[in-house]
Structure 1
Amino acid sequence: MDYVIDIIKEGLFGSLRSIFTIAKIVIPLMIIMELLKDFKILDKISNLLQPLSKLLGISKKSTFPLIIGLFLGLAYGAGVIIKSAKEGELSKKDLYLLMIFLIACHSVIEDTLLFVAMGANGWLLLGIRVPVAILLTILVGKHFDKIFAVKNG
């Protein structure tokens, strides 16, 4: 019986530690995002990355969530994406294209380093993930209305 209680305690406290760890990163990101918006720095970053957003078929307002997801991963990127979506900054197309890109290519630094530590070729891994994500996002973006008109209609 004691082992069942130990398992429950470990599961509960492990989950709480994970939530706290994510909160330690997501909350400061949200604060930074608000400061970047207030001081119009986010607009400048978006302008610099406009060629990338144009290539992927997403709006300028999608570039910050894209970069967060790309470098910090899905958990942290999702927090920024959800916040942006709730504020009405992202269209349905932006949300779909962001998710398509980030499903194929997220957390490029952390994931690549983890796989390299296990013996994978990091350059090969990045050389496949990034182009596949870009190509897939471009293709879906160009045919977005056709793809989702069939599902909706």
Structure 2
Amino acid sequence: MTVAQITVLCSAMLIAHALPIELSVSKKAGASLIPIGLLRLLGAVIYGMILHHLSLFFGFWQEKATVYFKAADTSQTPVEWVLDQLQNIALIVLIIFCILIVMRVLRAIGLLTLLEKILSPVLPVFGMGHNAAPVTVVGMVMGLGYGGAMIIRETARGKMGREELFYSMVMMGLCHGLVEDTLLMVAIGGKITGVFWGRILFSLFVVYCIVQCGRVFSGRRVRTET
């Protein structure tokens, strides 16, 4: 596989993974399950296609990728197969452990907090008010589990409207776990340009389009009623 292929695969997985669990979080928060599920599936396909065609057109990431997790050889004995799988599992555990350590270090030195502060002023442009923006940033940085739990709490308190709740869950659905998920995908060969920066820009663009369409529709409905 080429670096481009691995980056496309990693990016698609980051957008549309663990759907049963994460969509249940969205449902508990009060967001519509089917639209968010469809947006994530379509988003994964569309973003993957964009990365694929851009990499082919400009000729980048075409070198052979270094794959750290090898597939089992069909000629292996059962014992050799078990040993190979144990080696792969040990490597995965080591990578995840290192990511957790990095997460703690980044949080301790304030880099995650800085990222949250940078993103918070931007999100209101994308239909999220001052109540939704901070928790959305937490979900984007730390993961949908963290952000979703905070969204559920804010919704229960009546501090978030239905529209900004939907926009927030769409944003977190398309772009969450920016630190640990990104580090994991980079560790297996994905390019940070695609799995991190590109994913953020794509998610912001999608949410912006949805917000603008919603405003146009609302404006037409108001004019029709009057």
TM-score (norm: length of structure 1): 0.61
Q: How many Å separate the matches in 1 of 2:120 and 2:187? A: 31
Identity %: 22
Moved over 4 A (4+): none
Residues 4-153 of structure 1 correspond to what in structure 2 (within 5 A)? 49-50=120-121, 52-144=122-214, 146=217
Task: After TM superposition, give the deviation of residue 124 of structure 1 in Å.
Answer: 2.1
* Structure with the higher helix share, 1 or 2: 1
* RMSD (CA atoms): 2.3
SS of the residue corresponding to residue 143 of structure 1 reads helix
CA deviation digits over 1:21-42, x for unaligned, max 9?
xxxxxxxxxxxxxxxxxxxxxx
Contact 2:154 2:160 in 1 (8 A): yes
Size of the alignment, in residue pairs? Answer: 103
SS of the residue corresponding to residue 58 of structure 1 reads coil
Task: After TM superposition, give the deviation of residue 66 of structure 1 in Å.
Answer: 0.7
Q: Which has the larger radius of gyration?
A: 2
Amino acid at match of 1:79: A
SS of the residue corresponding to residue 131 of structure 2 reads helix
Unaligned runs of 5+ in 2: 1-115, 222-226
TM-score (norm: length of structure 2): 0.42
Amino acid at match of 1:124: G
Task: After TM superposition, give the deviation of residue 62 of structure 1 in Å.
Answer: 0.7
Q: How many Å separate the matches in 2 of 1:49 and 1:99? A: 15
